[in-house]
Amino acid sequence: MKRVVSIWLPSWPIFRLRRAEPAAVPSGQPFALIESGAHGLAITGVNSAAARLGIETGTSLTDARAAHPGLVSRLAEPEKDRVALLKLGRWTGRYGPNRHIDGKDGLWIDITGVAHLFGGEEALLDDMARRLQSFGVAVQIGLADTLGAAHALARFGCRPDAAWVMAPHSQTREAIASLPVEALRLEASCVLLLKRLGLRRIGQLYDIPRDSLARRFRSSDAASAVLVRLDHALGEADEPRKPMQPLPVLSVARTFAEPLISSEALEAFAGELAVELATALAAKDLGARVLRLTFYRADGTAGTIAAAMSTPSHDAHHMLALLREKFQTIDAGFGVDLLRLDAVRAGKREATQKRFTAGQSTPFRDPSELVDRLVNRFGRDAITVLRPHGSHIPERAEIRLPALEALAAESSSRVASYMPPWPYPKCSERPAFLLARPEPIDVTAGVPADPPKSFIWRRVERRVVRAEGPERIADEWWLSLYLREGQKKPRTRDYYRIEDQAGAMYWVFRHGLYEGEETSERPSWFLHGLFA
């Protein structure tokens, strides 16, 4: 059964501002954060001194100042509050990877199957409350089978002397029956109408027939909202929740009584987690494609490093090698008290041939591990591979693809990947080195159809002693159907292999014909490649 924790931080904007600017929030003087609303400036947060005077959020600043002239105010910074809440949400991943922020001052965490790691649900809630309170933030926590019930308990079910409240398994109805209808996360207008009907507690809604309850509302949307929220709280309907990060396929974690600071200790424990995760993956005949190592610091912050692999792997040594290269970016801060290694994405690990024949001693060289190392060090776009492309124009006959995606696609498609011929034929009709773009050359030739007698390339004249050709490559005529106005029509090419007096061999072509083309432009010459 699902178990969800809801964390309410009632004075979150004040706490965030005090932590960012300690002198900004006075301790003994009433202070309020304000925001422009539909009816002017309204209060969105107050410190303890203002709360003792009865100043509440939502009150007009004008009314509050009329009653308490000494009230100090400052504009709220909701975006900074949200960013800080997201950072805290990342830190709460220590209690479960499935979590996110809940409104402007709350968080939710799905702790299904996690509580036993902390010694049970009560121990988990104690640990959570203790750590959050140690940061100086006020907190109330609710635990129930549904997010709606946990949200209601956190905000309306906690006793003043307690930091958390828990609804036992399968006892959600009883746990929230005595809570006010405001706990159902309804609009103010719906709450007001329910109270006018004499329905002040959630339990009073249980026995009323749904058709009868719907008829009491003037608006069908309002009635539907009440029923939907009630179903969410009781678990009669699923409430969609989007996690902060993709949920891992498998996850392993290690907690530390004394926070770790040295990179050597972090690397050592990361190695242990890699072995543990690799064993779990192998047991399920899976291999990790994307790894994520999250380190949770003692000061309430968290950091992450990740690594991607071109083919699924459950090799612990390879996993650690990819992560080790990024360990220098880890800032342990005041110490790391929990490490979590996730296999964010995984796939079936296909059997690979290690040798060409049974008696051959030379192992088969799988490029995937090398590609993984290079990509994780230099970036995805820095490492590419060449693949054949459907075109007979030489510069378009192959394309560059990111090596990581290309190898991953080939491994997942279960189709034999492209392997270039090895060793390359010594007398290839194509040059080993092809220029990215053909470079223009000045050519001296006998008659128009003859190969060059000499040519000038990069300001150096070279005399031709041998020539072979031509090899005619026609234009891709179908592309001319999509030419825009002003674009030139592709022309025929005649390629020659030529050798100069120094023994260097070149691949050149004449672009265009002297006769037979519908253009008055004279042919031009280009150098396209160099033979080894």
Question: pLDDT tens string for the chain (532 positions)?
Answer: 899 999 999 999 999 999 999 889 998 899 999 998 777 899 999 999 999 999 998 899 999 999 999 999 999 999 999 999 999 999 999 999 999 999 999 999 999 999 998 999 999 999 999 999 999 999 999 999 999 999 999 999 999 889 999 999 999 999 999 999 999 999 988 899 899 889 999 999 998 888 887 777 777 788 888 999 999 999 999 998 899 988 899 999 999 989 998 888 899 999 999 999 999 999 999 999 999 999 999 988 999 999 988 888 899 999 999 898 888 888 888 899 999 999 999 988 765 554 444 444 445 456 778 888 888 888 888 888 888 888 888 888 888 888 877 777 766 654 445 555 555 555 567 888 889 889 999 999 877 678 899 999 999 999 999 999 889 988 877 777 767 776 777 788 999 999 999 999 999 999 988 776 666 678 899 999 999 7
Contact between 32 and 71 under an 8 Å Cβ cutoff? The reply is: yes
Per-residue pLDDT at 433: 87
Other Cβ atoms less than 10 A from the Cβ of 298: the count is 19
Strands (E), 106-172: 106-110, 140-144, 164-166
User: What does the domain layout of the chain look like in residue ranges?
Assistant: 4-172, 177-234, 248-420, 433-530
> How far apart are the C-alpha atoms of 270 and 276, rounded to whole Å?
10
> Domain 4-172 belongs to what architecture?
3-Layer(aba) Sandwich (3.40)
Q: Which two tokens stand for residue 527?
A: 């150098």
> Of 74, 269, 233, which is closest to residue 146 (Cα–Cα)?
233
Phi, psi of 220 (to 5 degrees): -70, -30
DSSP bridge partners of 7: 107, 141
Round to whole Å and give the CA distance between 449 and 510: 9
Angle, helices 403-413 vs 368-378, to 10°: value is: 140
For residue 303, which phi and psi values (nearest 5 degrees)?
-135, 160
Q: Phi, psi at residue 365, to the nearest 5°?
A: -90, 105
- Residue 418, pLDDT score: 56
How far apart CA 89 and CA 531 sit, in angstroms, is 59
Q: What is the separation, in whole angstroms, between the first and last Cα of the chain? A: 68
Selection from 464, 494, 457, 83 nearest residue 301 by Cα: 83
In this structure, the strands spanning 524-530 and 40-46 are: unpaired
Contact indicator for 398, 386 with CB cutoff of 8 Å: yes
Extract the tokens encoding 512: 């265009």
For residue 421, the model assigns a pLDDT of: 56
> How many CB atoms lie under 10 A from the CB of residue 415?
9
Which has the closest alpha carbon to 438: 451, 410, 411, 457? 457
- Decide: helix, strand or coil at residue 337: strand
Contacts of 351 (CB under 8 A, 6+ apart): none
Query: Sign of dihedral through CA atoms 204, 208, 213, 215?
Result: negative
Q: Are 254 and 260 in contact (CB under 8 A)?
A: no
pLDDT (0 to 100) of residue 379: 81
Distance CA 475, CA 484 (A): 17
Structure tokens at 336: 């790391």
Task: Tell how strand 505-511 and strand 140-144 pair up.
Answer: unpaired
Closest CA to 37 of 62, 20, 10: 62
Tokens at 19, concatenated: 């932590």
Does the pTM surpass 0.75? The reply is no
Q: Taking the C-alpha atoms of 77, 241, 131 and 10 in order, what is their torsion angle to the nearest 10 degrees?
A: 40
Looking up tokens 């050597």, which residue turns up?
264
Q: Tell me which residue of 58, 80, 83, 62 sits closest to 71, measured CA to CA.
A: 62
- Ramachandran region of residue 503, left (φ > 0), alpha (ψ -120 to 50) or beta? left
Q: What does the block give as tokens for 464?
A: 């031709």
Give the number of other CB atoms < 10 A from CB of residue 236.
Answer: 11
C-alpha torsion angle, residues 365, 367, 368, 369 (rounded to 10): 70
248-420: CATH architecture: 2-Layer Sandwich (3.30)
Q: Is the peptide bond before 470 cis (omega within 30 degrees of 0)?
A: yes
| Helix spans in 185-308 (H) | 188-196, 210-215, 220-234, 263-283
d(CA 247, CA 240): 15
> Which residues does 488 contact at the CB level (< 8 Å), separation at least 6?
none
